Amino acid sequence: MMEKAGALLDSHAAHWASIYPDAPEAIRARIKSAAEKSSIIAQVELEETRAMPNGGDADMLTAMAEADGDVRHMVLLLTESKSSSGCFLSAFPFAAGAIAHEVTIEDLQCDGSGTEGMIRGRTEDGAEISFFDALFFKNCDAYEVGESYQFALSAFAYSLRPQGLKLVHGGDQTTAHPLDMLKPARNASPDDYEYRATVQHAYPMRFCGGTLWRMRVTVARSGQSMVDVALYAAEHVLPQGYRPKPGDEITGRLWLQGYLVED
């Protein structure tokens, strides 16, 4: 038996809104429906039991998600082994389709319960990034500051629009491409960024009755090296009629996430 959690969307409301144009109650219904069709992808024993609304004592954290798909619904539950009862703890969009980079960890930020956390580090090219670790609950105990790991990086666009700067040289119009960059968003979480990026690849994919664009975009450059991530953008965050294509310079705001690539 699964108990409801009133704060299910609170910490990830903006993240869900980036892929669904629905009202919060409709998004809750989508998450519940996805959870009923999902399977367990990980279980972690809690260091201490935690009280649940039904009076039980949870001793496990259980993660559930769809078995396949580039974008999935990740649902975290507190569960009690002996009774198989549980309650919702959190839920967030999870981008399984991502691009791997070596990242040296400089700092770990935890939500206090050990369930969710962020990683601040540097890529192999020296770019400094902070990202939400979608599998933090599973892997956090194995991390060591100063060590390097392979992380699959992706992002969800809160907003996206094409950007091109027109310059005139001798009567001819040319396009000046702005530098690709990630800039921490003002008054926001460290994993939220303003970005300018170059689209390398783009294709639409069906997702829960709507369309998500999956793009490979360059968000940072260092000499000849580039930092690419998989960027997902729902139709409702794009300008009306706009279809991303390779070579486009785009700008907006995004949520950066990643997960440890297992051997």
String of DSSP letters for the chain: -EE--TTTTGGGHHHHHHH--S-HHHHHHHHHHHHHH-EEEEEEEEEEEEE-TTS-EEEEEEEEE-SS-SEEEEEEEEE-TTT--EEEEEEEEEE-S-EEEEEEEEEEEE-SSSSSEEEEEEETT--EEEEEETTHHHHGGG--TT-EEEEEEEEEEEEEEE--EEEEETTEEEEEPPPPEEEEPTTS-TTEEEEEEEEEEEEEEEETTEEEEEEEEEEEEETTEEEEEEEEEEGGGSPTT----TT-EEEEEEEEEEEEPP-
Q: Are residues 165 and 243 in the same domain?
A: yes
Q: Is the dihedral of CA 10, 160, 153, 179 positive or negative?
A: negative
Say yes or no: 128 and 78 in one domain. no
> Tokens at residue 139, please?
């892997």
Q: Are residues 122 and 228 in the same domain?
A: yes
Which domain, by its residues, includes 153? 99-260
Label residue 224 by pLDDT band (50, 70, 90): low
Of 29 and 6, which is predicted with more confidence?
A: 29
Say which residue, 178 or 232, is predicted with more confidence.
232
For residues 124 and 80, state if they share a domain: no
Q: Is the pTM of this model over 0.95?
A: no
The answer on 217 and 132 residing in a single domain is yes
Average pLDDT over residues 203-207: 95
Residues 140 and 227 in one domain: yes
Tell me how many domains the chain contains: 2
In this predicted model, what pLDDT tens digit does every residue of 71-120 receive, in sequence order? 999 999 999 988 878 888 899 999 999 999 999 999 999 886 778 999 99
Closest CA to 135 of 102, 94, 98, 99: 94
pLDDT, averaged across the chain: 87
Residues in the chain: 263
Angle, CA 236 vertex, CA 234 and CA 238 arms, to 5°: 80
Percent with pLDDT over 70 in the chain: 87
Other CB atoms within 10 Å distance of the CB of residue 242: 15
**CA-to-CA separations, 17 to 131, 136, 142, in angstroms, rounded:** 18, 22, 32
Which residues pair with residue 62 across a beta bridge?
43, 77
Tell me which of 94, 115, 144 is where a domain ends: 94
Considering the domain architecture, whether residues 103 and 129 belong to the same structural domain is answered as yes
Please tell me whether residues 87 and 110 are part of one structural domain.
Answer: no
Residue 150 has pLDDT above 50, yes or no: yes
What's at 209, amino acid-wise?
G
- Checking if the pLDDT of 211 tops 60, the result is yes
Domain check: are 77 and 115 in the same one?
Answer: no
Per-residue model confidence (pLDDT) at position 125: 83
Q: How far apart are CA 169 and CA 76, in angstroms?
A: 56
- The answer to whether residues 117 and 90 touch, using CB atoms and an 8 Å cutoff, is no
In this predicted structure, what is the pLDDT of residue 225?
A: 64
Q: Distance between CA 94 and CA 32 in Å, rounded?
A: 15
